[in-house]
Chains A and B, each alone.
Chain A
Amino acid sequence: MEIKYGISATFNSAKDIYVAAGKIREEGYQNWECYTPIPVHGLDAQMGVGRSKVPCFTLLGGVTGFFTGMLLVWFMNAFDYPLIVGGKPYFSPIYPFPVFYELTILFAAFGTLFGMFFLNRLPQHNHAVFEHPKFGKTGDDKFMVVIEIEDSKFDDQATPAFLKDLGGKSVTVIRESID
């Protein structure tokens, strides 16, 4: 069975979608998304979305990495098998600092990548917008807006007309199949 997912409209330039996005937000739509071949500068503000939360994951990873490094060195060189080397202390925050430093960066990098995946809900190999016959062009040179049927303001007649008014080309209904 197929159900309607939303209505799409295509724009030809970054400028067009930038202007259109501002108008869609002003109109009061909530569940909609822009699909663009490049990250369009300033589109976040036009769509009314805030700053990305990825840095929280980076910080979390970095702090974890730093203390993992400390724990590692303390456990291995001072607790589990204390061994005198070169008259240096069993544990110190100074001499193994490169180890803490590297692990901070390593864990922060993993935090960043997986944080990005988590916030973007990836991997997600199937999505309704992939059903759009020209979806591939959004990776090339087309800019697409999709207003979802979920949106409280969505209307079968008014929404497509609104998108056409904004200058959207080839306004199309996207359907997804469900079992």
Chain B
Amino acid sequence: MATLSNTDSTEDRPAILDKVNPAPWNEPPLVLNNRSFNWVTEKICGIVEGKTPTWWWWCFITAMIIASFTGMGLIYLVSTGVGVWGNNNPVNWGWAIVNFVFWIGIGHAGTLISAILCLLKQKWRTSINRGSEAMTVFAVMCAGIFPLFHVGRVWFAWWLFPLPNANAIWPNFRSPLEWDVFAVSTYFTVSILFWYMGMIPDLAVLRDRAKETWRKYFYGFLAMGWRNANNHWRNFEMAYLLLAGLSTPLVLSVHTIVSFDFAVANLPGWHTTIFPPYFVAGAIFSGFGMVLTLLLPLRAVFGLHDLITQTHIDNMCKITLATGSMVGYAYSMEFFIAWYGANSYEGFAFINRAFGNYWWSYWIMVSCNVICPQLFWFKKIRENTPLVWVISIFVNVGMWFERFVIANTTLSRDFLPSSWGYYSPTVVDIFTFFGTFGFFSILFLLFLRFLPLMPLAEVKSVMPQADPHGGKHS
């Protein structure tokens, strides 16, 4: 082995290594058409600074009208009593909890995009994270309405919080519902902090570009005097990373605790350990459905094709596919465990889910959540934007039905046949839920009009010009 002792290193290496050329990894550009920094600034700020488009007003008026249904529903509920909802024995939760879990779940994709994908260094998140975070905040607002009014006497809802009241009693911390109060309010607060902090540099850009006095004051106040200094960026980036690191366990805990609302109860169909991961996967699935539903029209209307590229849509579709498959796996695993666990009540609960009194909701859920996203295996379908949008709507519908199935099939058929019942929503239930879409749209439209839709600095950071080494790592 004379060659091994040879000091000339080129002769030591097996000859084949010289011939191996790593395949070039063509990372698709995240901003198309070689745009400049200035183009990005003009594009994003232009949305806020330009004249209010006519379609915006039409959407806003429609959203107001739709939101008024929630107003009507709630006013009627409060003035008459919680009995105007369809909830009754044995289904005491009805649409209220279904809608609550539905909206909370939608919020989760926003946090996934802003926090988890940030920790995983997924650069494509930059152009979609602001809109998704806004979606999170607004979805949690919609979610909050339902448990708030479901308590019955809404003027006592503040008893949920650890505040001293005239009865001198405190919240019961042994209850998962109380954990939920902490989880959801923390989630809401931290989501707002994260959203706002990420927006500060962009608000400063809007401040510096502002012509009108009200804009100077409005953005000036919100920007807190940010001045793009490297020292600012240094602390900002660290804080951003930390908030991402805090939001990741937070978002996982929120839907885990929401699932505890069910899983801690000793009811067949609810009392399962699979619930936390299954709920989290479902939440991310539904959230991505909503992100696609919101961003695809915005991309078309504002001409953001260079910023939200086919790569972004592909990635979102693939995450939807992955989480949809996880949810499908959880559905089948629930059935397996119900059979394998040999508990007759559990077994009945699942047979009843698929073939019992609410069979139709179960099969809507399976077709929307498990079958529909499987279409995303095909590139042709992922590239067909209108079809992707339609599938995203199916995902939203399916995930609403998932919560309906979980909450209602179990409650309507529990241990004693004598206590069985059938739940149907009343028109007040339907009004209240329908209106929340209007409420959500109002908030989202205001966001589009007044706040930057994309984080300028983050989008610019993934462009080739941001590289201080000019493309070559020294």
Contacts and interface: CB of A to CB of B under 8 A. Distances in A.
A93 to B, nearest CB: 12
Interface string A118-158: 01101111110110000110111100000000000000000
- Tier of interface size on chain B: 35 or more
Interface in B229-252: 229-239, 242-243, 246-247, 249-250
Interface stretch (B69-77, B186-194, B321-329): B186-194
Given A54-B238, A105-B250, A140-B38, A96 B173 contact: yes
B426 interface: no
Interface residues of A, number: 68
A95 B141 CA distance: 28
Contacts of A83: 169, 172
A115 B246 CA distance: 15
A26 interface: no
B467 interface: yes
> Chain A interface mostly helix, strand, loop or mixed?
helix
Contacts of A130: 227
Contact of A35 (B169, B189, B227, B457): B227
A126 B182 CA distance: 38
Contacts of A38: 233, 457, 460-461, 466
B173 A139 contact: no
B348 to A, nearest CB: 26
A58 to B, nearest CB: 5
Contact of A105 (B186, B220, B469): B186
B170 interface: yes
Contacts of B204: 139
Contacts of A162: none
Contacts of B19: none
A77 B469 CA distance: 59
B228 interface: yes
Contact of A139 (B36, B190, B205, B225): B205
A140 B41 contact: yes
B168 to A, nearest CB: 6
A81 B170 CA distance: 7
B104 to A, nearest CB: 14
Nearest to A128: B227
A77 B243 contact: no
A39 B189 contact: no
B230 A122 contact: no
A114 to B, nearest CB: 10
Contacts, number: 206
A81 B237 CA distance: 45
A72 B170 CA distance: 10
Contact of A113 (B228, B231, B243, B456): B243
A70 to B, nearest CB: 11
Contacts of A13: 465, 470
A103 B178 CA distance: 13
Contact of B230 (A40, A101, A136): A40
Contacts of B243: 109, 112-113
A105 B162 CA distance: 18
Contacts of B190: 105-106, 109
A37 B456 contact: yes
Nearest to B194: A109
Interface string A38-50: 1111111001010
B230 A105 contact: no
Tell me which of A36, A88, A95 has the highest count of chain B C-beta atoms within 10 A of its own C-beta.
A36
A49 B37 contact: no
19 contacts: A15-B468, A15-B470, A35-B230, A38-B466, A39-B230, A40-B230, A41-B467, A49-B230, A85-B172, A98-B176, A98-B257, A99-B179, A101-B253, A102-B183, A109-B189, A115-B239, A116-B235, A122-B224, A135-B208
